[in-house]
Structure 1
């Protein structure tokens, strides 16, 4: 019986170990195979304007959009919906809530969408912001879909609201990915660039092209590999956390620890082609590449210089542990805090180092690619100070030029004080609490050597 239990335990252990190993290699950041596309169509009165010789903007939009929706029947991983604004009330009514989900998401609803598109008659104003906010309720909550919004408009917001802020907020909440905004000959259409990826179409031909390209982008298989270059522009840097940020919201879209195989090749990462990205290489300090140009539907290789070297600050004596503050040269912001004897990698460059020893020491160092910069401090000595009773006083370092530099204050309510000090010359200035004047201040100079224990009595 014991042998059976033992064998069973071994099997369970092996299965658990296998599942853990599998989990470690599992790709966590997966692009859903299914996509929802919400068309948000401008039905405002200005869509009646001629666009070309004998067609209005609405006629062109209807013709091309109907053809596109009809062609998407063959994609089983796609669901469509249609929202229209500015089509139910006249311009004089100035109804800034004139927006309606005319056809909700559903499988095989192409005919319903086509018929509804054909019915639309331009009438009113352009409540883009309200329509975006309402679109948050248009996408079903079921998981496993990418939500894409395509806005087709011939005008900018006419209701005094902020479509850019609304779009970014909804993207941050994960309601939809970065929208496509297709402008139909808009004057000042770049004002909508912050709503999403703005594409200007100046004719019916270009509208057909950009609308089809927008749809193709949503399905393009796009991958990226990042080459991290050393100081010789060779792709040898690796094992660094890399983050792809959605550059509209600033939030992480993909994150991974950079890897190179035995042949020195970086692995590939599948990215969603709908988004635009900033890439952050999380070195110290980080390297940021803004608005990275990623070509949809192909493999992209992105070269980012990230040359690094190492810094070690240590004591000659074991057990003398202390903290080290690291700043980029000329910058006040703290870059990193590391412990003594700990090796940290930094971008090649100049840094200012401060050791939290007594007294503190400041260094300016240059980190070189592929090299380790080591700063070594001498062993400390121990000074024990007896002040008889509590009082007020400070410890100063006496510099080579005779000037003094404050090191620390003595504890007010203690009569025994112990400090590990770097070798050097020092001075104590102290007055007991009960003393009746500053003339009772005691001054004592002393020198401490590495490894020395020194006992000092102030009175």
Structure 2
């Protein structure tokens, strides 16, 4: 028997010792594939002169060069959808859009060939093209779907590109789109800014720089660190859950438990810069940074003021209350922040809180929690009210105050006077009428005192 026990202990200890190694040696998840769709304007206005050329030829040349450079990337597929190129503008075709080159790896040759065969001529159905692009991306949960819209005009078919873009982002069809407006139309920023990340390419040199920058954002690694500051502004708080919340879908994208290394520095976390985030630091209560200004392709540091102290609920001995708890609220708030059990120690943000102990009667205190310190809350040991008579009737227990007021504490249950009830030290009153009594005037009232760790026995109608 002893050898079996020793074997089990060894097996258990071996498993526990292996857990950290397993956590550190766990294989990294496979890299996500990026699918990049160029949504290109080929409406009639793209034939307009632009510096020494026209907008269409510039777009052709820039996209061809970009497609060549993208062929070198692994885990990348590109595609081309064009709108406004199949029917003349006078036909007002608001469904003139087509996926000209489906997604594939090393797709540059196909895209360049198709660009040479297209002539701009029609309308600008941006909204409808966005809706159709949702079907261009294969269903793949392990992919980043990116759209780059290149246009020289506003929506001409009465659609709402902002609402459509937002709806498709919320469905996670694609990430926040990039929109490059060719030329210098003052209406671009208003219409395109709400669709995604808008860039104004007022000249050819800017267009080339913007296009390079967009690709860099889409494909380069971005990291962030979070410094949790104490009340002196020092980045020493740690071991707190953090959530990077997608503020378009309102869904969590990343959950981490904050970490400081041996030198006191937070680690660098890789995140997708194509999304828009709110950072939620899940202290009690939570702290939130809205609309993180993440610079893609580099390391970002965010500082959050999160000084914390402890609320220590002390219970010196068993009580008749059973499992004792306290309700913790931010000062003045009606909402419960935490239900904390006795005895325990829980971290909270430094501040002032209302603490309600579920004793009989309830004890309410306002406490101040200071950074790096423990604030202690306890309660006197209760005594007990004992009524041994089993009289059928109706009654309640009230607390008495020095100014003569009384406050309800408890109703006698089950229509019987027989109880053994734990109560905090103090002055009380029991009010009771038997069920068989023929009038309110036959109510009995008894005052009594409760002392810690002592039982007070009373007799009704005596």
* TM bracket (short chain): 0.7 to 0.9
The equivalent residue for 2:396 is 394
Please state how far the C-alpha of 1:347 moved relative to its aligned partner. 0.7
The equivalent residue for 2:254 is 254
Please state how far the C-alpha of 1:55 moved relative to its aligned partner. 4.3
Whether the 8 Å contact between 1:391 and 1:433 is mirrored in structure 2 is yes
**Could you say what secondary structure the match of 1:117 adopts?**
helix
Does the alignment pair 1:449 with 2:455? Answer: no
The equivalent residue for 1:72 is 70
The equivalent residue for 1:421 is 423
**Could you say what secondary structure the match of 2:371 adopts?**
coil
The equivalent residue for 2:106 is 108
Which residue of 322, 330, 343 maps to 1:328?
330
Separation in 1 of the partners of 2:158 and 2:370?
55
Whether the 8 Å contact between 1:230 and 1:369 is mirrored in structure 2 is yes
Q: In terms of mean alpha carbon deviation, does 372-381 or 77-86 score higher?
A: 77-86
Separation in 1 of the partners of 2:412 and 2:53?
88
Separation in 2 of the partners of 1:417 and 1:29?
62
The runs of 5 or more residues in structure 1 that have no matched partner are none
Deviations 1:185-206 (A, max 9, x none): 3415233333222222222222
Please state how far the C-alpha of 1:260 moved relative to its aligned partner. 1.5
Please state how far the C-alpha of 1:390 moved relative to its aligned partner. 4.0
The equivalent residue for 2:35 is 36
Deviations 1:127-179 (A, max 9, x none): 33333333232122346432222122334444454444443443344332222
1:27-426 residue pairs with structure 2 within 5 A? Answer: 32=31, 34-50=33-49, 52-53=50-51, 55-142=53-140, 144-184=142-182, 185-186=184-185, 187-319=187-319, 321-385=323-387, 388-426=390-428
Output the aligned Cα RMSD: 3.0
Superposition TM-score, scaled by structure 1 size: 0.88
**Could you say what secondary structure the match of 1:195 adopts?**
coil
Q: In terms of mean alpha carbon deviation, does 61-70 or 335-344 score higher?
A: 61-70
The equivalent residue for 1:438 is 440
Separation in 2 of the partners of 1:26 and 1:178?
34
Q: How many residues align?
A: 452
Deviations 1:367-421 (A, max 9, x none): 1010000012101111134574443332221123222222232224344233211
Whether the 8 Å contact between 1:317 and 1:378 is mirrored in structure 2 is no
Whether the 8 Å contact between 1:230 and 1:236 is mirrored in structure 2 is yes
Please state how far the C-alpha of 1:221 moved relative to its aligned partner. 2.0
Whether the 8 Å contact between 2:360 and 2:423 is mirrored in structure 1 is yes
Please state how far the C-alpha of 1:322 moved relative to its aligned partner. 1.5
